[in-house]
Chains A and B, each alone.
Chain A
Amino acid sequence: MEGIKEEAIHHTALKLAEEIKNLSIYKSFYSDVQKLVSSPNVKKEDFKQTLQQAMKEKGLDTKLRNTVFHWVRTQSKQNKLDPLTSLLKASAQWEKRIHKSLNSMCTDLETSLAKIRSQSEQEELSDKWNELSTYTLGNYKTDLSFVSRIRPPQVTKSRRFISDLSKYRPVYAPKDFLEVLITLSGYVPFTREDEPKWEFAHLPIQVKTLDQLRKVFPEWAHGEPLLGVNPNMPSSVPGFATLEAERISLGERVAALGYAPVVQEYLKKGSPQCLRAKLWSQVLGSDVKSQQTAYFGQLKKNVLEVDLMIDKLIFKDVQLTASNDDQYFVFEDLLYQVMLCFSRDVDVMQQLKGSIGNPPTVTIKGKQTSAESMTVFPPSGIIPFHGFTMYATPFCYLYDDPVQLYYTFRAFYVRYWHRLHYISTHSQGIVSLCLLYERLLEANEPLLWIHFRNININPIRVVFKWLMRAFSGHLPPDQLLLLWDAILGYDCLEILPLLALAILSFRKENIFQVNTLQNVDAVLADLSTISVIPLLQLALMKP
């Protein structure tokens, strides 16, 4: 018995070693180990022991462990093919619709999906890389106000060229996506007049009950003290005045250790804001080294050289969301950089292969015909929808540097956010989350459920945009960051429908008073007073 187990471990180790050889960190890691081997700390007589010790001291041990952790997380991808053919079909149709819409937008606006930027345009874009909010997209002109330096204070510096951008419309909005999801169930049998036709419940997907969720979030369900409940909550550990002080002290040790699984465990009870930037990048393995900085530079170069039609959509989206938001407008210029580079990132598509459909390949106009004149459109494979930027905005409260912001955002997207706008049967996918919300509402707030039925409103309609954007743009940033701590800590998105339920439950008396979709939306419009953690903990603790 022992022997079999030993052998299995041996096989896993061999497989892991092979896999690690294919990772991008392998080269530098290997050379680090070689350097270590030649150091006096490692003795030939006791090679294994001394090398292990030296690796521990140099932090290579933690690095190796974290590498395995991150690798394992990327492997746990479920089913290669979605078992539900109806979903598969719907997903393909939806993708086709998006591509068609992009193409017809191009035709209408007499532009192409991809073309080479002119030299002058490249230069201007490069000059204004740090203030893209003043860049006149795709319309390189000499701005007269730049020529005259002296001007009366009523006249401002060059303004963005809005009229061009105004012709562009977001490809789709959460509302459009919801329409697609609602028709998914394919359930068209003997519905009686009084039976709603919209429930996700018709889909044969398993979701958890509230009791099962309590087992997923045991710390919350048991009422353990969490950050974000009350800043002055006393600590149960001697020597600390407040829970916050205790968490900061523990968090500093966790961050110094840098071992990803420990960081993940720590995040379950919430991170203090001052440590969040570090802890998030540790748990996601998104720390920035020279290799990452260089890669980001490559992405930027591609943005400067190739004009993708999607750039306009990105500009439009930042303008429609962050630029008009008092919480994020300051970070506008940072967001342009990050979102533009994201669209060029082939790694994103590589890592999400199989979960995001098949992006088209198009010719780059103005480039000599060769292998390089073709590009996947866009290289990341991700076509942004209205509000897509909101997946990145909260990171502005953690990172000043666009490169650091970029990699943590990207890691978050690859691990979680793409599931919120692609159709799949994955337990963390948007379809399952909608179904979970529906079931939770029916089981735990039956009166609300009946009320929605009576006023003939599909309850998913009033919360869908929250789910699809992971509450970004809806909750104030401090609350949002606490919520995302939990997503990282428990490595799941089920907290989103749970929060949606908790908010509805919290405001139900007001919902009972109204009977139109518009008025329900009004009751739920302002979430600025919501305290996320207490509300969630209450929902999980109840009986």
Chain B
Amino acid sequence: MTQEVKKISPAVYGKVTPPVMEKGRVTYCTDLEKSVIMSNFERRGWTQVGPDDEWNFYWSFTQNCRTIFSMESGYRMSDNQMINHFPNHYELSRKDLLVKNIKRYRKELEREGNPLAEKTEVPLPNGQVLTRYIHLDFIPVTYVLPADYNMFVEEYRKSPQSTWIMKPCGKSQGAGIFLINKLSKLKKWSREAKTPFHPQLTSKESYVISRYIDNPLLIGGKKFDLRLYVLVTSFRPLKAYLFQHGFCRFCTVKYDTSVTELDNMYVHLTNVSVQKHGGDYNSLHGGKMSIQNFRLYLEGTRGRSVTDRLFAEMQWLIVHSLKAVAPVMANDRHCFECYGYDIIIDNTLKPWLVEVNASPSLQSTTHNDRILKYKLIDNIVSVVVPPDGIPDARWNKTPTAEALGDFELLIDEELIEKEDANSRYNKYHRLRQ
């Protein structure tokens, strides 16, 4: 960015007259040398610079983003700089923290007596009774191990038939995941984990254990999950957008809950990084089906209203997971972030949030994938950058309808606030008339 040419800009942003970019001199920096990113930026006429140069737009790895924001780095971002992560994105993307934040969010709402936190009792076939939130029951029951071990055992005993899934908190792409259907197996694991042969598995490496969704919706007999892309441009007020081109990721092998298949991860995990190694992986479609076709299928075979409800519930789930972390997020105005939401739908057509990824893969496995990801990046940039095309952290982050591209608005608390104020104003005036 060049500061040499300074023009007087109209004072739209505030009292201070900001320096304005020289037209056509936007610079970008990227940690990910992927054509889907570079070609997008080049098409906008941006020039590439290194991380130590003066960049306006940085597509960074999460680690580098955290470094920039850390105290020690002493880096201060200028108004014309934007970066693609929030410094503490892990509040949402780390499996244990996500659970912690959602639990806290529910408790707070409950304390306020908010109707959202309403609960109900679900009787189990074995006579036990479980208490569930009616509106906020969108993550499978989850505990952090080893910390919540006792709570887990208590829950486990209520329905000893169920299967649980263990995931290391800090890993992604299906690494280190396994299923458990006996408490003894977990005990064995914890004994082994504490041995000196696995020092890395001790205190630092915590796991989450969640009730396994063992009744997933199957299409063609196969299990799948949904990958949706959610763009957040601000947490307070919350501004979030949903990309219309998500997809379903299918397992290559027929779903089978038998105990013998418990260790066959091709049956259970939908991650492309796992499925790719299966003998049945097809590189033409990569096991991916577009969300539009998924919707078409559901509407055709199950009807309109249940399909509409499912999609509304997924939006609900996304909004409330974001609201749950909003209070703890470092809401830096230079930041935006695109999250990969992984959702599993069970055979009652209820969506469950499985995981949120702060750096969803931009790797293209198929031709359609490449088109989708190119469009995703393009639309992200047009939403987060002001209409004049120059990154500006002071902008009010209210994109025009055209700028949204294939994103649809999930929530904009600022707009809601305004509308509320307007309607209050209108009401007041109507009363006076």
Chain B residue, CB-CB nearest to A154: B277
A355-367 interface mask toward B, CB cutoff 8 Å, 1 = contact, 0 = none? Answer: 0000000000000
Interface residues on B, range: 35 or more
Chain B residues, CB < 8 A from A522:
none
B257 nearest CB across to chain A (Å): 15
B140 CB, nearest partner CB in chain A, Å:
23
List of A residues within 8 angstroms of B299 by Cβ: 273-274
In the complex, are the beta carbons of A149 and B284 less than 8 A apart? Answer: no
A interface residues, how many (CB within 8 angstroms): 38
Contacts of A248 in B (CB 8 A): 304
Give the complex CA separation of A248 and B284 in angstroms.
Answer: 36
| Structural contact, B266 and A157, CB atoms closer than 8 A | yes
A156 x B253 contact (CB < 8 A): yes
- Of all chain A residues, the one with the shortest Cβ separation from B247 is A326
Per-residue CB contact flags for chain A residues 378-413 toward chain B (1 = under 8 Å, else 0) read 000000000000000000111110000000000000
Point out the residues of chain B lying under 8 angstroms from A134, CB to CB: 254
Chain B residues, Cβ within 8 Å of A130 = 221, 254
Residue A14 interfacial (CB < 8 Å): no
Set of chain A residues within 8 Å of B300, measured between Cβ atoms: 273-274, 276-277, 397-399
B254's partner among A131, A149, A331, A398 (CB-CB below 8 A) is A131
Chain B proximity mask over A237-280: 1 for CB below 8 Å, otherwise 0: 00000000000100000000000000000000000111011000
Checking B250, B282, B287, B301 against A398 with a beta-carbon cut-off of 8 angstroms, the contacting residue is B301
A326 and B284 in contact, given A156-B253, A156-B278, A159-B279 (Cβ under 8 angstroms): yes
* Residue among A133, A272, A334, A399 with the highest chain B CB neighbour number at 10 A: A133
Judge whether A274 and B304 touch: CB under 8 Å. yes
CB distance from B277 to the nearest CB of A (A): 6
Contacts of B116 in A (CB 8 A): none
Complex alpha-carbon distance, A330 and B282, angstroms: 12
8 Å CB contacts to B: which residues of A286-335?
323-327, 329-334
Given A326-B366, A399-B301, A477 and B296 contact (CB-CB distance below 8 Å)? yes
> B273-288: which residues lie under 8 A (CB-CB) from chain A?
274, 277-280, 282, 284-288
Query: Which residue of B has the minimal Cβ distance to A160?
Result: B280
Q: Are A332 and B220 closer than 8 Å at their CB atoms? A: yes
Question: Once the chains bind, are B290 and A273 in contact (CB under 8 Å)?
Answer: no
Look across to chain B and name the residue whose beta carbon is closest to the beta carbon of A153. B265
CB distance from A269 to the nearest CB of B (A): 18
A residues within 8 A CB of B289? Answer: 326-327, 329-330
Question: Which residues of chain A are within 8 angstroms of B265 by Cβ–Cβ distance?
Answer: 153
* Interface residue A150 (Cβ < 8 Å from any Cβ of B): yes
A325 contacts across to B, CB distance below 8 A: 284-285
Most chain A beta-carbon contacts within 10 A, residue among B253, B263, B286, B297: B297
Interface: A521 (CB within 8 A): no
Tell me whether A156 and B254 are in contact in the complex, defined as CB-CB below 8 angstroms, given that A273-B299, A400-B301, A478-B296 are known contacts: no
CB-based closest 5 A-B pairs: A326-B285, A274-B304, A156-B279, A330-B220, A273-B299
Give A contacts to B, CB under 8 Å: 130-131, 133-134, 149-151, 153-154, 156-157, 159, 248, 272-274, 276-277, 323-327, 329-334, 396-400, 476-478, 481
Extra inter-chain contacts (8) besides given A134-B254, A330-B220, A478-B292, CB under 8 Å: A131-B254, A153-B266, A273-B296, A277-B301, A324-B285, A325-B285, A329-B285, A397-B301
Contacts A/B (CB < 8 Å), 13 sampled = A133-B280, A273-B296, A274-B300, A274-B304, A277-B301, A324-B282, A326-B284, A326-B368, A332-B220, A333-B221, A478-B292, A478-B293, A481-B296
